[in-house]
Amino acid sequence: MTTPAVTHLTGRADPAERTVVLAFGTRPEATKMAPVYRALQATPGLRPLILSTGQQRQMLDAALNVFSLTPDRDLNVMTDRQTLADLTARIVPQAGRTLREMGADMVLVHGDTSTSFCVALSAFYEGIPVGHVEAGLRSGDLREPFPEEANRRLTGVLSTLDFAPTPGSRENLRREGKGDHGLFVTGQTAVDAVREVAGRVPLRSEWQARVDAGQPLVTVTMHRRENQPMMREMAQALARVARAHPDHHFIYPVHLSPAVQEAVRPALGHLPNFELTEPLDYSDMAPLMAASRLLATDSGGLQEEGAALGVPVAVLRNVTERPEGVEAGVLKLAGNDPAQLEAVLNDLLDSEPTLAAMRAARNPYGDGQAARRIAQAVAWHFGLQDRPADWE
Ligand code: UD1
């Protein structure tokens, strides 16, 4: 008689396998962790599971669909107009206990969201080692982005393995006293994700028709909490840029946050060349970014995705934790002051030579192999393979 495989989450299918739980709750984390999940799946001796906090119910679920991922457990914490304290008070007590029930030998968190920090803290309380993907990014200003700069610093205090996307992010961690033992430069998993999706999914036909007719596309996103107090004025500045460029078509997938919706829709909803959409699935977003003349954004991920696709990015912030793209020339800081961002965007759209130079910049965020390197480092941590000689 054969013994059925153990598939429930409190046990292991194979007792020799190490269970690595990927924990995330927002749309960008799901997108950037999907390649890591696949790479772990392909690594002998490792068993990846997914713990969703459900911090962003609809936007997360849409992202999971695109990559055909199904969480093994879901804390479903999202509430309407949730505060940072609400999220913290709901995630911390549940996450560690759930990781234990899942048999986690390690948890991987990503970047700088409240999910990342709270899961890392809860795992630390349970004695479960934490691996930090997208570690070491620093803007140097605790208020910008808020609260993300604090979240990533705090997560770095708790982590055992750190996967820095660039040599610069590794230097940030070394400066904070991290030793080299568990510190790896891997590249950015966003590069892995955007190249895969933009390469296989065509642009939506109505946008392709505009490109075919010679109408340039500009993709806009804006959602940061520290930008929300002046988001209405920033949106009005974007409206003036759109009016000054009637030959361009602006597309803005508006974040579901009520604070963002209320600031943006009145200023931009009525312009003929400004299309406000629901949040887009990554399968629409990646080809849209690839087809755009310019991205104007306060997001972190779009800065890397623009760089990976060779699309110029105007960053609607005063500081960025992604300085490599500014140094390489593909990112330009436009700030969040309405008059200044209007001037910067107008200058960029009116100067094809400037945009051409930005397009030609080197991508500093990696070669699309970040997820594979992360899986190898996790396997090395568990003694399943040697530390390859070419690792930085
Ligand atoms: C969070 C991250 C930010 C990331 C962003 C991506 C933190 C502190 N910040 O910020 O780094 O760039 O996600 O989206 O974790 N909402 C919905 N439905 C959804 C998603 C959100 O209704 O599918 C609502 C929430 O109820 C909340 C608001 O939108 O009221 C904001 O969402 P939340 O995840 O709390 O913070 P973000 O500002 O999106």
Task: Evaluate whether 40 touches 20 at the Cβ level (below 8 Å).
Answer: yes
Residues 220-236 have pLDDT tens digits of: 999 999 999 999 999 99
Q: What CA–CA distances, in Å, run from 191 to 167, 283, 365, 367, 392?
A: 16, 14, 7, 7, 19
Q: What is the rounded end-to-end Cα distance, in angstroms, of the chain?
A: 49
What average pLDDT score do residues 197-217 get?
Answer: 96
- Assess whether 304 carries a catalytic annotation: no
pLDDT 10s digits, 91-119: 999 999 999 999 999 999 999 999 999 99
Residues 125 and 229 grouped into a single domain: no
Query: Does residue 392 lie within any of the structural domains?
Result: no
Q: Assess contact for 103 and 9: CB atoms under 8 A.
A: yes
In a domain, 195, yes or no: no
Task: For residue 218, give the 3-state DSSP assignment.
Answer: strand
Q: What is the pLDDT of residues 332-347, one digit of tens each?
A: 999 999 999 999 999 9
pLDDT of res. 13: 59
Q: Would you state the structure tokens that stand for residue 245, as one six-digit string?
A: 């460029």
Q: Which residues contact 75 (CB under 8 A, 6 or more apart)?
A: 25, 51, 52, 53, 54, 90, 91, 94, 95, 98
Q: Is the pLDDT of residue 6 over 50?
A: no
- pLDDT bucket at 14, cuts 50 / 70 / 90: confident
281 is catalytic: no
Query: Out of 38, 105, 110, 112, which one is annotated catalytic?
Result: 112
Within a domain: 197:
no
Q: Are 111 and 222 found together in one domain?
A: no
Please tell me the distance between residue 165's alpha carbon and the centre of ligand 1 in angstroms: 23
> Residue 78: which CATH number?
3.40.50.2000
| 162 and 280 fall within a common domain | no
The pLDDT assigned to 16 comes to: 85
Q: 96 with 41, same domain?
A: yes
- Considering the domain boundaries, does residue 77 fall inside one? yes
Domain assignment present for 20? yes
Higher local confidence (pLDDT), 9 or 294 = 294
In this structure, the answer to whether residues 163 and 241 fall within a common structural domain is no
Instruction: Identify whether the C-beta of residue 114 lies closer than 8 Å to the C-beta of residue 152.
Output: no
Relative to beta strand 18-24, strand 46-52 is parallel
Residue with tokens 């890591």: 36
Cα(115) to ligand 1 centroid in Å equals 10
User: Does residue 23 sit in the same domain as residue 92?
Assistant: yes
Same domain for 121 and 217: no
Looking at the whole model, is its pTM more than 0.85?
A: yes
111, 177: one domain? yes
Model confidence at 350, pLDDT cuts 50, 70, 90, reads very high
State mean pLDDT over 163-192: 97
With respect to residue 196, please indicate whether it lies within any of the assigned structural domains.
Answer: no
Distance CA 203, CA 189 (A): 22
d(CA 279, CA 171): 35
Protein residues whose CB sits closer than 6 Å to any atom of ligand 1: 26-28, 55-59, 78, 80-82, 112-114, 147-148, 223, 225, 256-257
Average pLDDT rounded to a whole number, residues 72-101: 97
Report which protein residue has its CA nearest ligand 1's atom 19.
Answer: 56
Cβ pair 108, 134 in contact under 8 A: no
Q: Confidence band (pLDDT; 50, 70, 90) for 392?
A: low
Which residue minimizes the CA distance to atom 39 of ligand 1?
257
- For residue 256, tell me if it sits in a domain: yes
For residue 100, give Cα distances in angstroms to 94, 128, 139, 279, 302.
10, 8, 34, 34, 34
In a domain, 388, yes or no: no
| Chain segment 113-131, per-residue pLDDT in tens | 999 999 999 999 999 999 9
Residue matched to tokens 């234990």: 100
Spatial contact of 88 and 56, defined as CB atoms under 8 Å apart = no
Which neighbouring-strand residues pair with 221? Answer: 297
Q: What's the 226 CA to ligand 1 centre distance in angstroms?
A: 13
Give the domain extent around 82. Answer: 6-187+369-381
Structural Rg of the chain based on CA atoms: 21
Helix residue ranges, H only, 55-126: 57-66, 84-101, 114-126
Question: How many A from CA of 205 to the centre of ligand 1?
Answer: 29
Of 26, 80, 304, the one to substitute when testing ligand 1's pocket (max ligand atoms within 8 A of C-beta) is 26
Backbone angles phi, psi at 317, to 5 degrees: -145, 165
Both 11 and 151 in a single domain?
Answer: yes
Same domain, 308 and 182: no
Examine the domain organization and report whether 98 and 165 are in the same domain: yes
Cβ atoms 217, 251 nearer than 8 A: yes
Instruction: Write the burial class of residue 289 (CB in 10 Å: 0-12 exposed, 13-18 middle, 19+ buried).
Output: buried
Judgement on whether residues 68 and 155 belong to the same structural domain of the protein: yes
Q: How many domains does the chain have?
A: 2
Taking 70 as the threshold, does the pLDDT of residue 5 lie above it?
no
Residues near 25 by beta carbon (within 8 Å), at least 6 away in sequence: 52, 53, 54, 55, 56, 60, 75, 77, 91, 113, 114, 115
Mean model confidence pLDDT for the chain: 95
CA-based nearest residue to 368, from 33, 18, 35: 35
